[in-house]
Structure 1
Amino acid sequence: MLATQTRSTRLYRPGFAVALLLFAFGSASGQKLPAPEYDSTYYKKYPKQITGRVYLSKKYTSLSLEGKDRLKPMRYRPNTPVTMGVGATYGILTLNVGFPIPFLSRDSKETGRSKYLDLQSHIYATDWLIDLYGQFYKGYHATPRGSASLRPDSFYVRPDVRVNMIGASVYRLLNGERFSYRAAFLQNEWQRKSAGSLLIGGEAYTGVIKGDSALIPNHLDSFYRQHDIDRIRFTEFGPGIGYAYTHVHKENYFVTGSITATGDISFVREFKGKESETRTSISPNLMVRIVAGYNSDNWTFNLAWINSSTNLKGKSSNDQYLISIGSFRLALAKRLTPGKKLKKQLKVIDDLQAPTM
């Protein structure tokens, strides 16, 4: 059985076609598959209950440019809001709907506006972990305040800077019968005993970083070897390995940690106006997930952080470009038993996840 968690945010029209492709890929998880066996002494499933949730979340796709001689990196971040949402999970289907909270978000007068379509779909199956990304951001500012700016009390704002990236990672859980990702991230299962799992798989990404002018401002040219670069195209793919573990305290309290590391083959092309150079190298990338909270038969509460780091090395230097994609989320969820009428409507989902011979 599969569970899909899909998140999308406003409003970047060029990425709409990609959004449909990613949604279709995630929806493909609804095909009938044999039901994997699991050890009910380690975690408990709730196949006939709805998990309803309310949550606060913040997503990001940031960019860092490494400087010379251990100089602090040049960090660009978009202006993304804190979102409040509601959602539900039943069987293989998860749906979340969120709305921005203006008073918890940074004032765009200081950092500029960002236009974005942020798609993060995390598919948690009993034996598989699949992450899909479609990131389309325009409008960044340097952080912290004063960095890269000629005025220490203001932000250096770049409304022209874009980061576009699509990709996926797929990992096999070797101990899915005792370890549950869904207990931590979807709240529709309950990990009652500590357990972990080795992860084996791989990833592939492609994208572009660009600005209307050089990504490094002119007055900082001497500190960054990438100072003339105004565009980077990249493609990476390779194998990965990792480990995930949930520590359970007194059955109800838990901490889940997961890390995967890849050794990607990386193709990076840097542009200086009409001139360009390409470099092929090995890129070590990391994916980290950390969740802590409370779980029981009725209620669950947790705080989660997911972060994927993609390293890029261009021909201009060994100094890296780093793209970080992730989210923070605080969630409160309750398991509910549907009534007779709703059960009939949910039967189509039951049929999709029913085992086949």
Structure 2
Amino acid sequence: MKLHFLLFLVFKMPCLCSGQRDSTYIKPYEHKFSVMTYLAKNFLSMEQQTGTEESKRFMPNNPPNIGLGFSLNNTIVNVSYGQGFNFMREKDKGKTKALDLQIHNYGKKIIIDVFIQKYRGFYTADDDGNNIELYPDLKIQQYGAYGQYVFNNKKFSYKAAFNQSEKQLKSAGSFLIGGGVYFTKIESDSSFVHKEKNSLRNFQFGVSGGYAYLWAINNKWFASASTTVGINVGSERLNTFGKRKIEAYPTLFPRIAVGYNKEDWSIGLSYVSNAIFSAFSDNKNSNVGLYSGNFKLSYILRLDSFDFFGKKKPEKISDQQ
């Protein structure tokens, strides 16, 4: 059984988080302490176009994780611990060894995503999940950092959608601008071939723009969707950038969340995905695209230190829209 432990400190820079919020649109929960249980599945897959109309989707066979976490509001502390459900691994799809650390930090103005992913062992299947082929020698590594600026941060809250530490009282949206940097390394003994080689290295960076919206359906239910599209430029290695042919790659970063909020607890379902292309061949018949992200189902219990001493609890967030 694998154990996954994640401990990270998120520094909330005052210069990025200052500014008044519109209290008719956004209300923070006043509780000082939150406990979260979650079921999550991280992923990293690859799609390679190997012919004019033929493509292969290489999928990992890694199980979901169940975890427990806690956070102290308005501090830099956010800790979680996860245990993999190895018994849920589908045996006919081989075995995947994975190290997958993803940090998605939703600030008021700045959104930061970090990907540290190392996977070995993939499989392919047809649309019906049959004709399974195993690729135990295939290794994919991806390291990336991505940031976005939220223009309408006084009325729109990413926290309300993905952290549920705030409540969006009225529907609102915002334009987004940002960019990222990525390094990818793909290796195999023989199952991966690109430009007559069994390996690929790629460094790229670029800019993107998009839009996000959160629907305050009623006093308790909400739904949110956002997407950014962009263009990156890159080369095989950082030290050869500008010395060899520079290529351009499209990028796509969608996010979806739905949830239900009560004063002391919340439940939410979220999906975050990031698609980048790591290589194009000269004849466009061996394009390589990487898709990473996670699914998460979470339950959050909000507590306040005063609750333990029988003192007055914080006032409830108004349900008036």
Q: Common fold, TM-score beyond 0.5?
A: yes
Q: For residue 265 of structure 1, what is the amino acid of its counterpart?
A: V
Q: Which residue of 1 aligns with 2:53?
A: 70
1:46 CA drift (Å): 2.4
What is the CA–CA distance in structure 1 between the aligned matches of 2:305 and 2:59, rounded to whole Å?
A: 42
Whether the 8 Å contact between 2:201 and 2:236 is mirrored in structure 1 is: yes
1:321 CA drift (Å): 0.5
From 220, 229, 233, the counterpart of 1:261: 229
From 243, 255, 275, the counterpart of 1:309: 275
What is the CA–CA distance in structure 2 between the aligned matches of 1:116 and 1:267, rounded to whole Å?
A: 26
Q: Which runs of 5+ in 1 are unaligned?
A: 1-7, 12-18, 217-225, 270-277, 343-357
What is the CA–CA distance in structure 1 between the aligned matches of 2:196 and 2:41, rounded to whole Å?
A: 32
For the pair 1:237 / 2:205, whether they are aligned, the reply is: yes
Whether the 8 Å contact between 1:303 and 1:329 is mirrored in structure 2 is: yes
Q: Alpha carbons of 1:138 and 1:195: their partners in 2 closer, same or farther (altered >3 Å)? A: same
Q: Which residue of 1 aligns with 2:314?
A: none
Three-state SS of the structure 2 residue aligned to 1:120 is strand
For the pair 1:337 / 2:304, whether they are aligned, the reply is: yes
Q: For residue 55 of structure 1, what is the amino acid of its counterpart?
A: Y
| Cα distance per residue 1:303-337 (max 9 Å; x no partner) | 11110001133335314201000111111212111
What is the CA–CA distance in structure 2 between the aligned matches of 1:62 and 1:74, rounded to whole Å?
A: 11
What is the CA–CA distance in structure 2 between the aligned matches of 1:309 and 1:322, rounded to whole Å?
A: 7
Three-state SS of the structure 1 residue aligned to 2:11 is helix
Aligned pairs (5 A) from 1:1-357:
10=4, 27=9, 29-30=11-12, 33=15, 35-71=18-54, 73-91=55-73, 92=75, 93-103=77-87, 105-108=88-91, 110-144=92-126, 153=131, 155-215=132-192, 226=194, 228-268=196-236, 279-319=245-285, 320-339=287-306
TM-score by length of 2: 0.84
| Cα distance per residue 1:225-264 (max 9 Å; x no partner) | x473311110111111111110111122111101111111
| Cα distance per residue 1:58-78 (max 9 Å; x no partner) | 11000110132322x211111
CA RMSD of aligned residues (A): 2.7
Percentage of pairs with the same residue = 28
Q: Which runs of 5+ in 2 are unaligned?
A: 238-243, 310-321
Q: Which residue of 2 aligns with 1:352?
A: none
What is the CA–CA distance in structure 1 between the aligned matches of 2:223 and 2:50, rounded to whole Å?
A: 35
Q: For residue 100 of structure 1, what is the amino acid of its counterpart?
A: G
Which has more helix, going by share of residues? 1
TM-score by length of 1: 0.76
